Amino acid sequence: MFVTRRVGREVLLVHRVPEGGGYWHVIAGGVEQGETAVQAAKRELREETGLEAQIEPGVGVTEYVYALTEEPAERRALHDPSVVAVHVECFRVEAPLDWEPTLNAEHDDHRWSSPDEARRVLRWPATATALQRMLSGASTAE
C-alpha cells in the first residue's frame, strides 16, 4: 500500500523494527482467509497506521511477484511449503495533509519522502519499481 500526500509528491515510508529486519518499507501485509486484496489492504492500513481509507477495487493497482526466499525465515514459515513466489497487489491512497500515522508494534519510525528518495531507500527493488509505475500512472490520470 502506497500512502501519499500532496497528490503523490510525498510517500509514507515506515521503518520495520530491528527484530523484523530494520528496513524502510511501505504498508504491507498478507491476505487473510476470506478476505479480498482490497479488504486486506484496508485492514493492514488501519492496523499499521490507524488510517481509515476507502480503497476501490481495480483503482490504482500495480502488481509484482517476488521469490519467497527474499523473506526472512520467520516470514517464510507463515507460507505453505509449496509456495515459492509471492504475488503482490499494490494500492495507493492519498492521506489528508494534516494526518500522521499511529504506528503499530511492527514499526518504530516513519517519514514522508519524495518519490525519488523513497525509491532509493526502499529495501526491495520490486517495491521501488511498483511505486514508480503507480505514481507514473497516477500523474497521467490526475
Determine the pLDDT at residue 138: 45
How long is the chain? 142
Determine the pLDDT at residue 45: 96
Q: Is residue 79 in a domain?
A: no
Q: Is residue 82 in a domain?
A: no
Q: Is residue 69 in a domain?
A: no
Per-residue pLDDT of the chain (142 residues), as tens digits, is: 999 999 889 999 999 988 767 899 999 988 888 999 899 999 999 999 999 998 876 666 677 777 778 777 777 787 788 888 777 889 999 999 999 999 999 999 999 999 999 999 998 888 999 999 888 874 333 3
Determine the pLDDT at residue 63: 79
Residue 49's contacts (CB-CB under 8 Å, 6 or more residues apart) are 3, 12, 14, 27, 101, 102, 103, 104
- pTM of the full structure: 0.83
> Which SS3 state, helix, strand or coil, does residue 128 take?
helix
Q: Is residue 73 in a domain?
A: no
Q: Is residue 107 in a domain?
A: yes
Task: For residue 51, give the C-alpha cell.
Answer: 488510517
Look at the chain and report how many structural domains it folds into.
Answer: 1
Q: Domain of 100?
A: 2-63+90-141
CATH number of residue 45's parent domain: 3.90.79.10
Beta bridge partners of 112: 12
Among 41, 66, 47, 59, which Cα is nearest to 104's? 47
